[in-house]
């Protein structure tokens, strides 16, 4: 006995509305276990293997590789042994999942399957439901149609043909277009009770529209003896001259869809520009002593310390002195929320585009711990194995654009954070050192901040402290 369950794309992370199918991991007819990955998808934040909470036989897949799938759209249907579609029936063991698999991605769980039953307005006569036939043996479900009772009814509606209703067709729903599903949801039409007019019974948009029209209330006829109002005849008017609207021509050139990582970056940067009144300041700093300190640390043995880790440690010390900048703004309540922990994001360029991995509780980590975590997250970003949770929840971002060989920039704040530090390349330049002109290793630091959380004095004090630590790393010892 089996029942067909539909597994939809879950919410894979905060702010995500869909994903792109990269690779199917199962075929129709395959037997899958509970929580077995069935498809690999690419979200705006990471590559994710999506586990199916149902165990059984795959009866259908929805979407080709490369297709965009919105959250909530069906991915696969699985024939689950035992139980019934609404969770009733005998308990399921082995690979069945009425009790829930326990494997939870962000935003969804499998402990309580939700009912997906919708129906058209009641039609004359009772309807019966049956379960879907699948490979593997007979099925058990709701009662079958009573002897002598027709298996379907036809609703009468004025004004044209009406769609024929069926009772729970075998196999998955014969619907491909998400627009048809949405139209059915908006009008409370149960697709399982419709017989499609398309090829092989495919349910089309016209089928749903006819079902909606069939259930619409008929116009009320006027009571006998009630005079029917007659509209006055329209006055004769001269025909209006017709004007030909200019035809807008689309610009020529290659069109590249904004989707995946590129689309997420576009949305986030545009939102930052719309909502955050940012301002920037910058300063040049002599990084010669910082590089010398790093060389001495790495020569002493142990894990290597990166320049980015040194800058991250300087940022956590500076945020401890200027906590206004480790904050976010809630305009709904008109409050500035100062955050207790520093979750430090750092920009990383990958083949998939720009991503910002987040080092959790960076203020609690040692310099070696920061260096190891940054290296681990960077490698995961390059291989596309970062989890969505590792790309969200940052409170401050460090952007090392010096790796591109440029000196300066005015970074855009990573919404909803309040500030971002940009670091240019470190290169030899003429510099006045101890009253004499010398060639020193100079870096430009740029700082962009949300002017709602602080004024220029706080931002300038933060940037000056960072520059002092770059020029004299011993300043950090006062905070250790």
Q: What is the pLDDT of residues 319-357, one digit of tens each?
A: 999 999 999 999 999 999 999 999 999 988 887 777 899
Q: With bands split at pLDDT 50, 70 and 90, how would you rate the model's confidence at 211?
A: confident
Q: Which residues touch 219 (CB under 8 Å, ≥6 apart)?
A: none
Query: What pLDDT is stored for residue 347 in this prediction?
Result: 87
Query: What pLDDT is stored for residue 478 in this prediction?
Result: 66
User: Mean per-residue pLDDT for 183-194?
Assistant: 81
- The more confidently predicted of residues 428 and 210 is 428
Query: What pLDDT is stored for residue 479 in this prediction?
Result: 63
- The more confidently predicted of residues 246 and 372 is 372
**Is residue 257's pLDDT more than 70?**
yes
Residue with tokens 């349910």: 203
**Is residue 415's pLDDT more than 70?**
yes
Strand segments, DSSP code E, in 207-334 are 278-286, 327-330
**Residue range 17-43, pLDDT digits in tens:** 788 888 899 999 899 998 899 998 887
Least confident of 203-212, 236-245, 402-411: 236-245
Respond yes or no: is residue 451 known to be catalytic: yes
Euclidean distance between CA atoms 197 and 294, whole angstroms: 72
Share of the chain above pLDDT 70, in %: 69
What are the Cα distances from residue 418, in Å, to 379, 395, 453? 27, 8, 7
Residue with tokens 């970062």: 386
**Is residue 95's pLDDT more than 50?**
no
Catalytic-role residue among 152, 415, 433, 451: 451
Q: With bands split at pLDDT 50, 70 and 90, how would you rate the model's confidence at 48?
A: confident
**How many other C-beta atoms can be found within 10 angstroms of the C-beta atom of residue 457?**
8
- The more confidently predicted of residues 158 and 253 is 253
Please provide the size of the chain in residues: 480
Residue with tokens 């994903």: 19
Euclidean distance between CA atoms 412 and 421, whole angstroms: 10
- The more confidently predicted of residues 35 and 413 is 413
Query: What pLDDT is stored for residue 131 in this prediction?
Result: 42
- The more confidently predicted of residues 476 and 199 is 476
Query: What pLDDT is stored for residue 84 in this prediction?
Result: 41
**Is residue 224's pLDDT more than 70?**
no
Q: With bands split at pLDDT 50, 70 and 90, how would you rate the model's confidence at 159?
A: very low
Query: What pLDDT is stored for residue 209 in this prediction?
Result: 83
Judge residue 217's burial from the number of C-beta atoms within 10 Å of its C-beta, 0-12 exposed, 13-18 middle, 19 or more buried.
Answer: exposed
Q: Which residues touch 360 (CB under 8 Å, ≥6 apart)?
A: 341, 343, 393
First-last CA distance in the chain: 66
The answer to whether residues 110 and 101 touch, using CB atoms and an 8 Å cutoff, is yes
Q: Mean pLDDT across the chain, nearest whole number? A: 77
Residue with tokens 């200027």: 322
Q: Which two tokens stand for residue 114?
A: 């939700």
Query: What pLDDT is stored for residue 206 in this prediction?
Result: 81
**How many other C-beta atoms can be found within 10 angstroms of the C-beta atom of residue 367?**
18
Euclidean distance between CA atoms 432 and 421, whole angstroms: 25
Angle at 71 between CA 70 and CA 73, to 5 degrees: 70
**Is residue 98's pLDDT more than 90?**
no
Least confident of 156-170, 276-290, 390-404: 156-170
Provide the Cα torsion 304, 307, 309, 313; round to 10°. Answer: 130
Cα Rg of the chain, angstroms: 32
User: Mean per-residue pLDDT for 304-317?
Assistant: 95
- The more confidently predicted of residues 61 and 387 is 61
Which of 35, 15, 59 has its CA nearest to residue 110? 35
User: Mean per-residue pLDDT for 94-106?
Assistant: 42
The answer to whether residues 16 and 106 touch, using CB atoms and an 8 Å cutoff, is no
The answer to whether residues 113 and 16 touch, using CB atoms and an 8 Å cutoff, is no
- The more confidently predicted of residues 373 and 480 is 373
User: Mean per-residue pLDDT for 369-387?
Assistant: 90
Q: With bands split at pLDDT 50, 70 and 90, how would you rate the model's confidence at 123?
A: very low
The answer to whether residues 398 and 423 touch, using CB atoms and an 8 Å cutoff, is yes
Query: What pLDDT is stored for residue 432 in this prediction?
Result: 95
Whether the ω angle into residue 416 lies within 30 degrees of 0, i.e. cis, is yes
**Is residue 462's pLDDT more than 60?**
yes
Q: How far is CA 68 from the centre of its chain?
A: 12
User: Mean per-residue pLDDT for 99-127?
Assistant: 42
- Give pTM, 2 decimals: 0.55
**Is residue 255's pLDDT more than 80?**
yes
What are the Cα distances from residue 471, in Å, to 197, 296, 378, 443, 467? 75, 16, 27, 10, 6
């Amino acid at each position: 006995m089996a029942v067909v369950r539909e597994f939809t794309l879950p919410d894979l992370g905060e702010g995500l509305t869909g994903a792109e199918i990269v690779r199917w991991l199962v075929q129709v007819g395959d037997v899958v276990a509970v929580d077995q990955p069935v498809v690999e998808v690419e979200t705006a934040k990471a590559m994710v293997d999506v586990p199916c909470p149902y165990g059984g036989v795959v009866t259908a897949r929805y979407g080709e590789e490369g297709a965009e799938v919105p959250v909530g759209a069906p991915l696969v249907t699985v024939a689950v042994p035992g139980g019934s579609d609404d969770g009733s029936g005998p308990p399921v063991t082995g690979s069945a999942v009425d009790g829930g698999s326990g494997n939870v991605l962000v935003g969804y769980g499998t402990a309580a399957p939700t009912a997906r039953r919708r129906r058209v307005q009641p039609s004359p006569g009772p309807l019966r439901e049956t379960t879907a036939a699948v490979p593997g043996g007979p099925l058990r479900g709701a009662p079958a149609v009573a002897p002598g009772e027709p298996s379907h009814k036809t609703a009468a509606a004025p004004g044209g043909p009406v769609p024929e209703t069926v009772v729970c067709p075998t196999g998955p729903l014969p619907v491909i277009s998400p627009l048809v599903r949405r139209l059915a949801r908006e009008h409370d039409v149960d697709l399982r009770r419709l017989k499609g007019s398309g090829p092989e019974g495919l349910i089309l948009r016209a089928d749903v529209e006819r079902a909606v029209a069939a259930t619409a209330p008929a116009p009320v006829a006027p009571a006998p003896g009630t005079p029917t109002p007659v509209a006055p005849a329209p006055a004769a008017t001269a025909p209006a001259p017709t004007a030909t609207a200019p035809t807008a021509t689309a610009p020529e050139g290659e069109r590249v869809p904004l989707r995946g990582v590129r689309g997420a970056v576009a949305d986030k940067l545009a939102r930052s520009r719309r909502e955050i009144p940012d301002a920037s300041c910058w300063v040049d700093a002599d990084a010669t002593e910082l590089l010398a300190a790093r060389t001495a640390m790495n020569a002493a043995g142990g894990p290597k310390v990166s320049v980015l880790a040194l800058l991250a440690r300087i940022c956590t010390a500076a945020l401890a002195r200027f906590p206004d900048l480790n904050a976010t703004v809630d305009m709904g309540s008109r409050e500035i929320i100062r955050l207790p922990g520093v979750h430090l994001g750092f920009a990383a360029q990958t083949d998939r585009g720009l991503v910002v991995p987040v080092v959790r509780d960076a203020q609690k980590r040692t310099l070696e711990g920061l260096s190891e975590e940054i290296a681990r997250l960077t490698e995961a970003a390059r291989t596309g194995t970062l989890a969505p949770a590792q790309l969200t929840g940052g409170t401050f971002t460090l952007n090392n654009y010096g790796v591109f060989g440029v000196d300066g920039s005015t970074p855009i704040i990573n919404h909803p954070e309040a500030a971002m530090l940009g670091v240019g390349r470190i290169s030899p330049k003429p510099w006045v050192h101890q009253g004499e002109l010398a060639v020193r290793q100079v870096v430009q630091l740029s700082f962009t901040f949300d002017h709602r959380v602080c004024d220029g004095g706080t931002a300038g004090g933060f940037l000056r402290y960072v520059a002092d630590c770059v020029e004299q790393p011993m300043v950090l010892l006062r905070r250790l």
